[in-house]
Each structure stands twice: as structure tokens, then as C-alpha cells.
Amino acid sequence: MKPPTSQSVAKLLREVAAVLEIKKDNPFRIKAFKRAAESIEILSDPQLKSFWQSHQLDKIPGIGKSLAQSLEELFKTGQVKEFDQLKKKVPEAVFVLITVPGLGPKKAYRLVKGLKIKNADRAIEDLLLAAKQGKISQLAGFGEKSQQEIINNIKRRRENEKENSRMLLYEADQLAQKIVFYLKKSPAILAVKPLGSLRRRISTIGDIDLAAETKKPQEVINYFVNFPEKKEVLVKGQKSSARILLTNGKQVDLRVFLSRHYGSMLQHFTGSKSHNIALRELALKKGFSLSEYGIKNFKNNKTFHFEKE
């Protein structure tokens, strides 16, 4: 069992605080959970793990002995029975809605109850639909202004999610290196290199794109889709590509080419879209066609292949 991350622990503590707030518990207890969440959230995963391994969880600011014991239970068993019992008192959809800016626990609870939102996975979509249909303004304590604010805040949340989904270059490097290290264990792999924005060293990276050189494409693809941190196989081609979703929510694309095409492929999938368009236009002016497989001469219909850039 993997130890909990600092983000997952902070999320759990905020959810417990939300339940306590809805149930009108002691305000000081509610603040204690929120303060603990803030303290843990700024720790790296190794730092949090170190506090646990050295039996010093109560040394984290805002973590008393009682809460430290609960976190000890979380590290050892993967759950805290007391917290699980508390969370059962509130619909799961509430914990989703409190992630929308401007929606506190009490408002989220009233919305879930008033709109009869039951599916946590669709909670935000159902809330947005209800807002667009004017149903929120009909609930007690809500009006047209708050209804429009909810629409705007959901939009803002989605924009933030999209922006936050990008990794810093060093984070993408670390993730890519881990996958490359795994791929190189396969005897079918001749070479592996990053592609796209990662290879261009852009400051933030969306998905990880990799290129593999091999004589056995299908063997490489089968090996890739069994990466230990894979959550789901999104695409699995027969010869040229595959895409997986990792447990951390990031996508990884692998393009597989034979040696004679590898150089052309690296060139084609490294440059930006505008760069590739400019290169293809230049090639056409000179009587050539440029692709990931090589350069084709229109005069004699011959294609030149490149193992290296």
C-alpha cells in the first residue's frame, strides 16, 4: 500500500471540516482541521512521509496528538474509521461542490439537497445544468445573482483545472525519465527520446510525448501499456502508437517507429504546429513532400528515409 500524499491528506481533512461545519460542530474544532489541512498541503510527499516514519506527525504545525493518531491510522491502514463515519453523514456530491470557488460546505449541502444531486461524478455538470435552467434561483437563500455567480465560478474552476494540469519542465522531466527508464528495460527498445514541448524545453508541459526506435513495434507497445503507474489504456495501436493515463492523471503518448524512419519522426514530432507547417510549405516549393516517414521527391516519386535527424 502506497503512503498517502500530502494533497490527499489535506483533501481528507478539509472534507471532515466540511462535515463538521454542516453539522454545526464546535467552531474551534472546524478551524483546527482547516489549519491542519493548510499545514500538510505545503509539505512535499517525502517530507510528510518523513514526519510519519520518525513518529513526529504531531510536530507539524496545527497537528495535535489526537489528529496525529488519526493520521497514523491513515498511514497504516489507508483509512481513518472515525473520518469515514463522519463523511457518511453527508452526500458525497457535497465534497465535489465545495471545490467550486464561492461554495462553502453549507451552500453546497443546500444545493445538493435542493436540486437532488445524487451522482458525485456528475455533481458539477448537474449543478451547471440546473443553473442554466434557472433552478438555483428558485431555491431558498439563492437568487439570480448567486445563480450567475455559480455559472461563472464553475467556468473559472475549469479554466484553473486546465492550467493546473500542465507540469513544470522539471516535473515533466522527472516523469519522462521514469517512463524512459522503464521502457529501456525492454530488449525490443533500441532508443527512446522525448518529443514535442518537452524536447523543446518549454517551461510548462501538458502531456508527455515519447518516441521509441525498435524492430518490434507490437512488442514495445504491449510493454508500454503495462507501465506500473498506468491507470487506463486510452489508445493501443497495432504498430505505431499507444496512449495511457497514469494514476496521477497525466497522459503519456508513445510513438513507435522502425530505425529507418526514426530521424524523420523525431524532426516531425518535435517542432510546434506552426514550425511544421512552415517546413512543409518550404518543402513543397522545392518539389518535396515532408512527413514523419521521410522526404518524398515528387519528380521521381522516391522517398528518402532518415535514421537520424
Residue 232 lies in a domain: yes
- Together in a domain, 218 and 232: yes
Residue 238 lies in a domain: yes
- Together in a domain, 128 and 231: no
- Together in a domain, 59 and 36: yes
- Together in a domain, 215 and 282: yes
Give me the pLDDT at residue 298, please.
78
Report the distance separating Cα 207 and Cα 176, nearest Å. 10
Give me the pLDDT at residue 161, please.
66
Q: Of 146, 164, 182, which marks where a domain is finished?
A: 164
Residue 302 lies in a domain: no
- Together in a domain, 210 and 259: yes
**Per-residue pLDDT in tens (0 to 9) along the chain, 309 residues:** 778 888 899 999 999 999 999 999 999 999 999 989 988 888 888 888 889 999 999 988 889 999 999 999 999 999 999 999 999 999 999 999 998 888 999 999 999 999 999 888 889 999 999 999 999 999 998 999 999 999 998 988 777 666 667 788 988 999 999 999 999 999 999 999 999 889 899 888 888 999 999 999 999 999 999 999 988 888 887 678 898 888 887 889 999 988 888 887 888 788 887 877 788 788 788 888 777 777 888 778 887 777 777
- Together in a domain, 173 and 291: yes
Q: Of 164, 191, 211, which marks where a domain is finished?
A: 164
Give me the pLDDT at residue 102, please.
84
- Together in a domain, 199 and 98: no
Provide CB contacts within 8 A for 284, sequence distance 6+.
none
Residue 303 lies in a domain: no
- Together in a domain, 80 and 176: no
Provide CB contacts within 8 A for 99, sequence distance 6+.
157
Report the distance separating Cα 109 and Cα 105, nearest Å. 6
Report the distance separating Cα 68 and Cα 52, nearest Å. 9
Residue 306 lies in a domain: no
- Together in a domain, 45 and 126: no
Residue 197 sits in a domain whose CATH number is 3.30.460.10
Q: Of 49, 74, 90, which marks where a domain is finished?
A: 90
Compute CA distances 291 → 254, 258, 277, 280, 282, whole Å.
Answer: 18, 15, 11, 8, 13
**Structural domain boundaries, residue 101:** 94-164
Q: Concatenated DSSP letters for 119-174?
A: -GGGHHHHHHHHHHTT-GGGSTT--HHHHHHHHHHHHHHHHHHHHHTSEEHHHHHH
Give me the pLDDT at residue 163, please.
61
Residue 62 lies in a domain: yes
- Together in a domain, 230 and 289: yes
- Together in a domain, 260 and 176: yes
- Together in a domain, 86 and 102: no
Work out the end-to-end distance of the chain between its first and last CA atoms, rounded to an integer number of angstroms.
44
- In one-letter notation, the amino acid at residue 149 is E
Give me the pLDDT at residue 226, please.
94
Q: Supply the pTM of this predicted model.
A: 0.56
Residue 253 lies in a domain: yes
Question: How many domains in the chain?
Answer: 3
